[in-house]
Structures are given as C-alpha cells and as structure tokens.
Structure 1
C-alpha cells in the first residue's frame, strides 16, 4: 500500500500540499468544515470552479440550513494509494467531516479490490485517529468489467463502513452514471448539471454527519 515514490518528487503530492494550504473560500459561511478527499470528479475536472463539486456542495448545504465551509482536496488521477499517502497532510486539523471519494481510478486501472480495501482502510483509520467524522462514498463497478471483479469491488465500501462505524454513501455517481446528458464527452466525469444531481443526493447525508458531530 505504501507509495514508494519519493514524496518530494511527486507532482500529485505538491498539488495536494498546495490544496491543504489554501484558505477556505471567501464564499464559505461560518460553520463546520467539510473536506472532500478525492480524485478528478471532486477536483472539478473540466468544469469552472463555481460548478465544481466542493463549491456546489457548499451551496447545497447552505440551502439545507447548515452553515459550512467546504474544502476540496481532490487531485486528478489519484488512486486510493495516492489518497492514503497524503491523507495526513491533505486534511487540515479543523475539519469536522471528511467525504472520502476515492476508488474510481482503481477501477479504471483494474487494481485488485483487496488493495483498494487496504488503502481505504488506512485512510479511515487515520481519520478516526484524528477524531474526524467520515462519509465514505462508494462506487459501483460496471458489469462489463467482469462479474467477479465487480462483486468484489462493490463489496469494499459497505464492508469498510461497517468495520469502521462510518457513514456510507453507497454510490457517488448514483443518478448520473451512464446518463449522457449529465456527463462530459468522456462519459466519465459529470458535467455541471451532473454535479448538481450528485450534491442534491449527497448534501443531506453530509448535513446529517455534521449535525452528529455538532
């Protein structure tokens, strides 16, 4: 699971360090901090910043009457291994709830689900040690990838959520995946409308996690 690349030479590490050092967006109201540890989907790939998932989640939580600050700690291309390597410095100490949204690139690269599970287990262990709330966002593997692989991959997220006692959001792309009108041309990354669908479903789950921390 350990990332054997020298951290000081890793472009992703430099990006992630920069993200962790950024101040909270000026538009964020006073409230608890949510940090999204993820990949290109949460980094807003192909979208203007205002349409990105972190910004839209902030607005969605505000509409639910939950004052909040949302920080994006998504790095395009990150696998669960990359997330495990940077979890300690990408999540700032004032974070109340972390949305862990990793695994898509593991899926695309055909990473062994056992490896994905071990990496996510490390992330959840570190976050719990820091007394942070967690929403674990899962994904569903397409059946075309193979029934056995899809079954094992899909099982990673609920089993870990149960083992660590954290909140499970079963499928980050629910209501968006495979819907052409809600995705960009690559059929992988949601467009602005797709992001709104995601946050519309995700925000109530995050709001509940924040109130539990509350």
Structure 2
C-alpha cells in the first residue's frame, strides 16, 4: 500500500511539473504575440463607387482592393462602407453607427463622398461642410484617413467645377490627411471601363482603379 501511495505521489508531482511547464510556455507564446499583429482593418466609406454598384461583391472595390493588398504581402481586411446614392450629408449622418458596426477601431478609413452631391448640383459649400465634419470626427477618434476626391461633370459649368474640385485639396490640407485626387483616375472618359449607365465602373474599371490607388493606400496605412 505504501509503495502505491509513493507511486501516486510521484505521478502527481510529475503532472504538476508538466502543467507548470505548459502554462509557462503558453504565457511566453502569448507575450510574443502583440496586439499590433492584428490584421489591419480598412473601411471603404463612401457611395456607390465604393459599394461596387451593379457588380457581384467579389468584383467590387473593397474585395478587389483587399486582394491587391494581399498580393503585395499586406494581409488587410477591407470592409465595405459604401451605400449607393449617399450624399456627403447622408454619409455624415451614418458615420458614427458605421464605425460601431465594424466591431473595432479601423486602421484606415477611405473617405469617398461628394459624387452624388455634384450630380444633384448641390452647393459645393455644403459638401465641404459635411466632409469637414466627417474628417473632424475621424481625427477626434484618432483614425487615419485617406481622403478621396472627385471631379465635376463638365455640363455643370466652369464655376461650379472649380468650386467643387478645389474643396478636396483644401480639406486635405486643413486636416493634414493624404489625398487621392480622383477616384476614377484612369477610368473616366473610357466607356469600355463603365457599365451601361456610363457612371459606374465595370469589373475591368474596378481593377484599373485598384491598381492606381494601391500605392497611395499602402502609404496611408500606418506601420504595424
């Protein structure tokens, strides 16, 4: 009986030592995995252009941008925050709950709004005010931004065009955020890169947009 007790005691000590080693090893592994290694989260916050209007989700801007980033070794997640038809005022109204819906603070927000303001002929001063408030709120939350500009349709006249297009670089300077001057760069004017409506890029057009904006997104994404 005594020998059995000694055997059980020895086994118990061995189990305790193994458990301690496991816990210490697990603690060390956890300590070597900092929170900064979390997958970068990018929020594409905008209108139908970022939403991928008229396209399957797999061909839309957020998914294609995510794929392009991963091809260059950046394992970021790009969430779709685009709503078709949104003006800058509507974007401003949903900013807070949109951020809450992400589940955590994004590492970068692409702000792409204003095209619908322009198409409706809304005063550029109102667009500028709304975008200014959006950028202020993101700055208050300490969220990095890539500000994305738009150009006005020629039929709106030279005065409107100057007023509208100048608001983007002005706001970028005011808030010290990087600016990608024109979301449709490389696509505008080429009908082969647009859907039948002539306003929204097709799958080929999205690929051109992603290829052109990718270097700016990489530069704007904070080091991790």
* Shared fold (TM-score, shorter chain, > 0.5): yes
RMSD over equivalenced CA pairs, Å: 1.0
> Match for residue 75 of structure 1?
83
> Match for residue 64 of structure 2?
56
In 1, distance between residues paired with 2:79 and 2:64? 11
Larger Rg: 2
Where has structure 1 moved over 3 Å in runs of 4 or more? none
Larger proportion of helix: 2
In 2, distance between residues paired with 1:65 and 1:121? 33
Contact 1:133 1:213 in 2 (8 A): no
In 1, distance between residues paired with 2:175 and 2:116? 23
Contact 1:42 1:101 in 2 (8 A): yes
Identify which of 152, 171, 176 aligns with 1:141: 152
> Match for residue 35 of structure 1?
43
What is the CA-CA distance between 1:143 and the residue it aligns to? 2.4
Contact 1:178 1:187 in 2 (8 A): no
For structure 1, the 5+ residue unaligned runs are 1-29
In 2, distance between residues paired with 1:126 and 1:96? 15
What is the CA-CA distance between 1:204 and the residue it aligns to? 1.3
> Match for residue 114 of structure 1?
125
In 1, distance between residues paired with 2:161 and 2:130? 18
What is the CA-CA distance between 1:144 and the residue it aligns to? 2.2
In 2, distance between residues paired with 1:213 and 1:116? 31
Q: Which has the higher contact order (CA 8 A, sep 6+)?
A: 1
What is the CA-CA distance between 1:88 and the residue it aligns to? 1.0
SS in 2 for 1:153: helix
